[in-house]
């Protein structure tokens, strides 16, 4: 019986693992993350809560909560039951479409592009959405909305 040295065995095993990993190529410059599609995955009650005009009440970033400032005073989000969307962020209004799935509200708008918000909580009186900026930042910002009167 012949023994194979540990170093040779280690190189062989690493090669079997590394070759498939490095042989996959991805062109990240043309790859876009697309939010989940397909209607809403909301109950009738949740849809009724969501589909109304919401105004921005406050923002939380880096652990600091603050009321909407003068630039954000008119900010809000209005998902409509037909899938259309009105979104104003930092005073810039845009229109688009929305979907909801996997605990996320996905917005595709004319000005802001595609944004996916994590739904932290939602009641008739308050909606909390979290947005995570893409690379290289990855910081999170939390938007607290109340129904527009």
CATH of range 44-147; options 2.40.128.280, 2.70.210.12, 3.40.50.150, 2.60.120.200: 2.40.128.280
Query: Average pLDDT, stretch 42-61?
Result: 89
Q: pLDDT of 83-116, one tens digit each?
A: 999 999 999 999 999 999 889 999 999 887 899 9
DSSP 5: P
Q: pLDDT of 18-31, one tens digit each?
A: 333 333 333 433 33
Percent of the chain exceeding pLDDT 70 equals 72
Cα–Cα distance, 90 to 114 (Å, whole number): 16
Task: Enumerate the domain spans of the chain.
Answer: 44-147
Q: Cite the beta strand spans of the chain per DSSP E.
A: 54-61, 64-67, 76-79, 84-89, 92-101, 104-109, 113-122, 127-132, 140-147
């Amino acid at each position: 019986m012949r023994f194979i040295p540990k170093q040779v065995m280690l190189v062989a095993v690493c090669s079997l693992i590394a070759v498939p990993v490095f042989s996959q190529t991805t062109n990240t410059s043309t790859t876009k993350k697309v939010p989940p599609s397909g209607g809403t995955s909301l109950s009738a009650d949740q849809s009724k809560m969501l589909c109304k005009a919401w105004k921005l009440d406050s923002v939380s970033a880096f652990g600091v909560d603050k009321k909407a400032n003068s630039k954000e005073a008119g900010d809000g989000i209005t998902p409509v039951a037909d899938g259309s969307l009105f979104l104003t962020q930092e005073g810039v209004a845009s229109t688009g479409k929305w979907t909801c799935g996997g605990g996320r509200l996905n917005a595709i708008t004319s000005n802001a592009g595609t944004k996916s918000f994590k739904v932290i909580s939602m009641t008739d009186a308050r909606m909390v959405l979290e947005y995570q900026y893409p690379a290289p930042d990855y910081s999170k910002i939390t938007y607290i909305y109340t129904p527009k009167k």
